[in-house]
Amino acid sequence: MTETLTQSSVLTTRVKAALEACGVDASAYGTDRSSFSPLTGEVLAQLRSHGADEVDAAIGKADAAFKTWREVPAPERGNLIKRWGELLTEHKEDLAVIVQAEAGKITSEALGEVQEMIDICDFAVGQSRMLYGKTMPSERPGHRLMETWHPLGVVGVISAFNFPVAVYSWNTALALVCGDTVVWKPSEITMLSALASHALLARAVRECQAPADIHQLIVTDRVGGQLLVKDPRVALLSATGSVRMGREIAPQVAERFGRALLELGGNNAAIVSPTADLDLALRGIVFSAVGTAGQRCTSMRRLIVHESIVDQLTEKLVQAYGTLSIGSPLDEKNLVGPLVHERSFKDMEQALVDAQEQGGTILTGGKRVLADEFPNAYYVEPAIVRMPSQTQVVHDETFAPILYVVTYSDFDEAIALNNEVPQGLSSSVFTQDQGEAERFMAASGSDCGIANVNIGTSGAEIGGAFGGEKETGGGRESGSDSWKVYMRQATNTVNYSGKLPLAQGVEFI
Ligand code: UN1
């Protein structure tokens, strides 16, 4: 995928070819909305939007298809996801080209995102034979007590631009093996990636002769998304985005007693102990702080460093940042691609102004680059800012590559600093002291959903549950037993005794 970007049309041509290879059909295109590339600012394609009636119809179709799909044996439902995984493997490069063009990822990360889809498909296929319920000893003779897991209904998925297809696939692969149907509202920024993923799934659905309507894609904006949030036919609403979005959505889903799975802000920190292997820490920090241009939910935004090593570590970091090449991800040598749009750049600029006003010193970065070559794209130097403490700007998450550095003197203080912010997605500690590692992962340690040791905050595997606490929303997606949120649980008590003993020894007729 190496190519020097000389003409903007090169990118559009590549994307068009990839969309065609994935089987996106002509009816998706129109004149209602444009899909832009953050690489150049160019329009990649124009799309047709779905109106309120079409959103309503999509929910209706998914609801009707649920009635059939829930009756299909789960391992057979798994066969559909197996086929989807095969098609994703076959079209890994095509989909990565589109993800790269729309989300601005470097090639390796764009391919990694599609790999994450393939991985969750594998996981979900296995899970389709493991939708286990428990049996428990009954307190009554001649009774069996057990639980069963049943399909839940329509799952609404609202996904973000930064992982335009992976996070959606975590939800979709599990929801479909669990017997649910899906209505997907992708980010308005990454509609082409969505159309391509949807087309591959639609092909798998056809080939496996699954009910055609089990998967619906709605090309719509916030207003269309609201219809999904408020619709009582949507049993589970899984949404990834900002804390602000979550605050709006959560009460609306709760009001109708729907189920919500929220994956909201991050603001993740790493603690660096004086015992840490600094070379290893350096690589982990740079990947998590700078990868995806700091636009992951799991991006590292805070570094809590022991005061005895802070100068040494920041010096190494500044040096490492100096070697990162920034520019179009179409050029393989670049490790830092663009911010997604001008607003992100403005937010970054503002955060850096605020940080300085709050006593911070910029150690490196923060400037826009390549503005002459790409006047409509926003490439920035990742920034490191030394802060006297975690002031307000450090508490607010800015979705851009800014790493704030603060110091600690004892480990309890470091944990307190880690936990001080309102968000609670990911965290990590770099240490060779086993006691510190254990304390970090203990009940009184990191309060985040992810607590890593000697690894950065980002780049989780699909096998573990993914999600976070506090303002991050509390949801868990992806691996482990996250599948349970996509199903409803029933408890069954079976009496084969021929008598009717009552629980708790109650006597009646
Ligand atoms: C996200 O940014 O919403 O752990 C998801 C990671 C990726 C997923 C990030 N596997 O960084």
Minimal-distance CA residue to ligand 1 atom 7:
459
Ligand 1 atom at minimum distance from 461 CA: 10
Whether 459 is in the pocket of ligand 1, judged by its Cβ within 6 Å, is yes
Give the pLDDT confidence score for residue 107 in this predicted structure: 98
Give the pLDDT confidence score for residue 8 in this predicted structure: 56
Q: Which of 42, 109, 263, 477 is catalytic?
A: 263
Decide if pLDDT at 173 tops 80: yes
CA distance 468 to 414: 19
The candidate with the shortest Cα–Cα distance to 87, out of 69, 124, 114, is: 114
Task: Tell me if 414 sits within 8 A of 397, measured CB to CB.
Answer: no
> 477 C-alpha vs ligand 1 centroid, how far in Å?
11
Decide if pLDDT at 206 tops 80: yes
DSSP code for 436: H
For residue 466, list its beta bridge partners. 477
> 163 C-alpha vs ligand 1 centroid, how far in Å?
7
> 57 C-alpha vs ligand 1 centroid, how far in Å?
32
Whether 229 is in the pocket of ligand 1, judged by its Cβ within 6 Å, is no
Task: Tell me if 391 sits within 8 A of 353, measured CB to CB.
Answer: no
Ligand 1 atom at minimum distance from 162 CA: 2
- In the chain, CATH 3.40.309.10 sits at 268-462
Q: What is the mean pLDDT of the chain?
A: 97
Which CATH code, of 2.60.40.10, 3.20.20.480, 3.10.20.30, 3.40.309.10, is assigned to 268-462? 3.40.309.10
Cα dihedral: 406, 407, 411, 416 (round 10):
-40
Decide if pLDDT at 376 tops 90: yes
Read off the amino acid at residue 298: T
Displacement of CA 49 from its chain's centroid (Å): 24
Q: What is the pLDDT of residues 23-57, one digit of tens each?
A: 999 999 999 999 999 999 999 999 999 999 999 99
Overall average pLDDT of the 149-175 stretch? 98
Residue 297 appears among annotated catalytic residues: yes
Task: Tell me if 233 sits within 8 A of 60, measured CB to CB.
Answer: yes
Q: How many CB atoms lie within 10 A of CB 1?
A: 16
> 102 C-alpha vs ligand 1 centroid, how far in Å?
17
Whether 167 is in the pocket of ligand 1, judged by its Cβ within 6 Å, is yes
Give the pLDDT confidence score for residue 4 in this predicted structure: 44
Minimal-distance CA residue to ligand 1 atom 6:
459
**Among 296, 301, 461, 466, residue to substitute to test ligand 1 (most atoms within 8 Å of Cβ):** 296
For the domain made up of 8-264+473-489, the CATH class stated in words is: alpha beta
- In the chain, CATH 3.40.605.10 sits at 8-264+473-489
Token pair, residue 288, equals 């998590």
Give the pLDDT confidence score for residue 5 in this predicted structure: 44
Decide if pLDDT at 118 tops 60: yes
CA distance 250 to 253: 5
Whether 298 is in the pocket of ligand 1, judged by its Cβ within 6 Å, is yes
> 478 C-alpha vs ligand 1 centroid, how far in Å?
11
Task: Tell me if 147 sits within 8 A of 174, measured CB to CB.
Answer: no
Q: Which residue has the tokens 């190494």?
A: 316
Decide if pLDDT at 289 tops 60: yes
Ligand 1 atom at minimum distance from 458 CA: 11
Q: What is the pLDDT of residues 452-494, one digit of tens each?
A: 999 999 999 999 999 999 999 999 999 999 999 999 999 999 9
Q: What is the pLDDT of residues 238-269, one digit of tens each?
A: 999 999 999 999 999 999 999 999 999 999 99
Give the pLDDT confidence score for residue 408 in this predicted structure: 98
Give the pLDDT confidence score for residue 9 in this predicted structure: 80
Whether 83 is in the pocket of ligand 1, judged by its Cβ within 6 Å, is no
